[in-house]
Amino acid sequence: MACHNAIWEVTAKLIASGKNPDHASHEAVAAELTNPLIDGVVLTPGIVATIPELQQVGFHYAA
9 confidence band (pLDDT: 50, 70, 90):
very high
User: Taking 80 as the threshold, does the pLDDT of residue 11 lie above it?
Assistant: yes
Three-state secondary structure string covering 9-61: HHHHHHHHCCCCCCCCCHHHHHHHHHCCCCCCCCEECCHHHHHHHHHHCCCCC
Q: Is this prediction's pTM over 0.85?
A: no
User: Taking 70 as the threshold, does the pLDDT of residue 15 lie above it?
Assistant: yes
| SS3 of residue 3 by DSSP | strand
The domain ranges of the chain are 2-56
